[in-house]
Chain A
């Protein structure tokens, strides 16, 4: 046995930290979606590109629309976490993990918008959690 192979296997274990950061960002994303749905219900001025003044009116309406504003802020928090995760992680692993926010959105929609839970939604939630779990496993193996 050569001395090289006798050395303990220096297994390069990829850190799962980027995965956990994206998991946290999904909570922000879900909160943002709920906020934006609340915000989208507010009356908004029509945007007419032929009249630039309507753009200003729309921008003002967005800034003064508190739920929409908080929705954007949550998205900013989500983006910062995602950027820091993408620094070291693979896009093909991290981007699909964002889908976990569907799970949160569905659960939160039941509470806030009284949307109904049923078998298919429940099954979909289980599949998404399974898929995200599988990505976590892929990430720790590579």
Chain B
């Protein structure tokens, strides 16, 4: 089965939206420290909506093509999420984290090239 380039772009787009979803989920989740009644807060809802929203281009993307090729394209989202956690949450990007991310991306590239 061939994987069209349009499918790849749709999945990449979905992954960037998903990384923003994670940022809002984290912002909303931190409110839960003040009690579980804060489960319905605007940030958490925004995060969930972005997460659900990202599945629309994702489904459109995976309709044509191999799952084992398209699914790894979500890796762009991991890079974005790493940048967002530094920017928005002032988390330290330690060598261990960056090394782990590099290993994961290399692994994802290996899997996608192995899928062809």
Q: Do A and B bind each other?
A: yes
Q: Which residues of A contact B (CB under 8 A)?
A: 33, 36-37, 39-40, 68, 72, 75, 79, 82-84, 86-88, 90-93, 95-96, 98-99, 102, 105-106, 109, 113, 115, 118-128, 130-132, 134-135, 137-138, 141-142
**Interface of chain A, main secondary structure:** helix
| Chain A residue contacts of B104, Cβ below 8 A | 96, 99, 127-128, 131-132
Quick check: is B109 within 8 A (CB to CB) of the other chain? yes
| Chain A residue contacts of B17, Cβ below 8 A | none
Q: Cα distance A94–B115 when bound, in Å? A: 26
With A91-B22, A91-B89, A92-B86 known as contacts, the answer to whether A33 contacts B71 (CB < 8 A) is: yes
Quick check: is B12 within 8 A (CB to CB) of the other chain? no
Top 4 closest pairs, chain A to chain B, by CB: A120-B114, A127-B107, A124-B110, A131-B103
| Chain A residue contacts of B106, Cβ below 8 A | 124, 127
Q: Cα distance A19–B36 when bound, in Å? A: 20
Q: Are B86 and A87 in contact (CB under 8 A)?
A: no
How many A-B contacts if CB must be within 8 Å? 158
Q: Are B32 and A91 in contact (CB under 8 A)?
A: no
**Interface of chain B, main secondary structure:** helix
A-B contact pairs, 24 of them (CB 8 A): A33-B67, A40-B63, A68-B59, A72-B55, A83-B32, A87-B32, A90-B85, A90-B89, A91-B89, A92-B81, A92-B82, A95-B78, A95-B81, A96-B81, A98-B78, A102-B72, A105-B68, A113-B67, A127-B110, A128-B104, A131-B107, A138-B94, A138-B96, A138-B100
